[in-house]
Amino acid sequence: MPDGALPVLDVKDLKTVFRTRGGEVHAVNNVSFHLQPGELLGVVGESGSGKSVTMMSLIGLLPQPPADIRGGQVMLGDIDLRTAPAEVLRGVRGKRIGFVFQDPMTSLNPVFTVGSQIMEPLRLHMGMTKAQATERAVELLELVGIPDARKRLKSYPHQFSGGMRQRVMIAIALACDPEVLIADEPTTALDVTIQAQILELVKDLRKKLGMAIIWITHDLGVIAGIADRVMVMYGGQVVEQAPVKDLFARPQHPYTRALLKTVPHLTGARQARLQVIEGQPPILTAHPTACAFRARCTHRFERCDAENPLRRPVGHGHDVACHWVVNAEVAHA
């Protein structure tokens, strides 16, 4: 991808807060990132670090209240999704932006057949007739590897296994050939042979359709296999982003470094005990005024308590939000 190309999606300073009985939860704190045409951006990060809320905020899928999107700009081409009227958003969601979210059971409606749920966006956005939509739905189910596709259109979600429901969600997301696909742990519940097929499928669709993809996963193996660029989130912020090879070869942020060490491997010596990142995720009751990782960081010094680090470039297309890393860079220079 040429660096200069205009991004399909450009997010600046997105800020989302939840109002709960226990006070505010600052889930997303000034998140900025961009997505280039045809690019696959991998997103990794601590459980609760705001990956899902970021993506739901940017396509306006969070109920407000309890969510409160306090700021930011989400440019899809020349539309700002943050301020666009509801009907514009409805025309974008499921059409220009397809999405697959965690927890397939909550995303598929249990009282409608799988077929009718796949056909809904086709009829709504593509103006297809019932017959056309049925054909396309069969094609989509076959595409994601559901056997007996035509018969299975009449099944209800509970009659499918977890993995099959997730493949249905992927089929729905792909229905209208979106420009951007947001996939939130789309293969988490899948068996690896099916995952391998879906990853091949995604590589294929990117080539064919030039779709840009945001792929959230906990599986660093998947990231290593398909991402062009990786964004690491921690405590509602982006703490590091880099081209994929660079991230694995030269992780900079102490959280990223620790993260890469915690995964068990398929080959080589078995560790007696897995390496863990000690401590607990931060409690996000207020806008951060210090580094969110400091309580668990082995490199913490005074500045980490006094000031939330901003992202600084440390290499080509590689930036990191860490006082310690930036200090070390300066020392080397």
Partner 1 sequence: MLDESPRKLVQVEDLRLYFPIHTGVLRRHTGDVKAVDGVSFDIFEGETLGLVGESGCGKSTVGRALLRLYDLSGGKVRIDGTDISDLSVGELRPIRPKMQMVFQDPQASLNPRMTVSEIIGEPLVEHTDLDAAGRQARVLELMDQVGLNRIFQNRFPYEFSGGQRQRIGIARALALNPKFIVCDEPIAALDVSIQAQVVNLLEDLQDKLGLTYLFISHDLSMVRHIADRVCVMYLGRVAELSPRDDLYANPLHPYAKALLSAVPEADPNAETTRQRIILKGDVPSPANPPKGCAFCTRCPEVEAICKTEAPALREVAPGRHVACHFVEIQNRAGSTGPKKPEAIEPNQQGERA
Between residues 144 and 164, which has the closer beta carbon with respect to Mg ion? 164
- 143 binding partner 1? (CB under 8 A): no
Among 48, 94, 115, 121, binds ligand ATP (CB under 6 A): 48
**β-bridge partners, 98:** 181
CA distance 311 to 304: 14
**Could you please report the per-residue DSSP string of 254-323?**
HHHHHHHHS---SSSPPPSS-----S-PPP-SS--SS-TTGGG-TT--HHHHH-PPPPEEEETTEEE--H
Whether the Cβ atoms of residue 74 and residue 309 lie closer than 8 Å to each other: no
Task: Choose one: 44-52, 57-65, 88-96, 298-306; the region binding Mg ion (CB under 5 A).
Answer: 44-52
DSSP state of 62: S
CA distance 80 to 94: 17
- 50 binding ligand ATP? (CB under 6 A): yes
Task: Choose one: 19-27, 72-80, 86-94, 114-122; the region binding partner 1 (CB under 8 A).
Answer: 19-27
- 189 binding partner 1? (CB under 8 A): yes
Q: x/- string (CB under 5 A) for Mg ion, residues 48-87?
A: ----x-----------------------------------
CA distance 11 to 260: 27
Q: Which candidate, 239, 213, 235, places its Cα nearest to that of 226?
A: 213
Binding site for ligand ATP (CB under 6 A): 18, 20, 25, 27, 45, 47-53, 66, 102, 159-163, 189, 191, 284
Binding site for partner 1 (CB under 8 A): 18, 20, 22, 25, 44-49, 52, 102-103, 105-106, 145, 147-148, 160-164, 185, 188-197, 199-200, 218-225, 244-245, 248, 258-260, 262-267, 270-271, 273-277, 280, 283
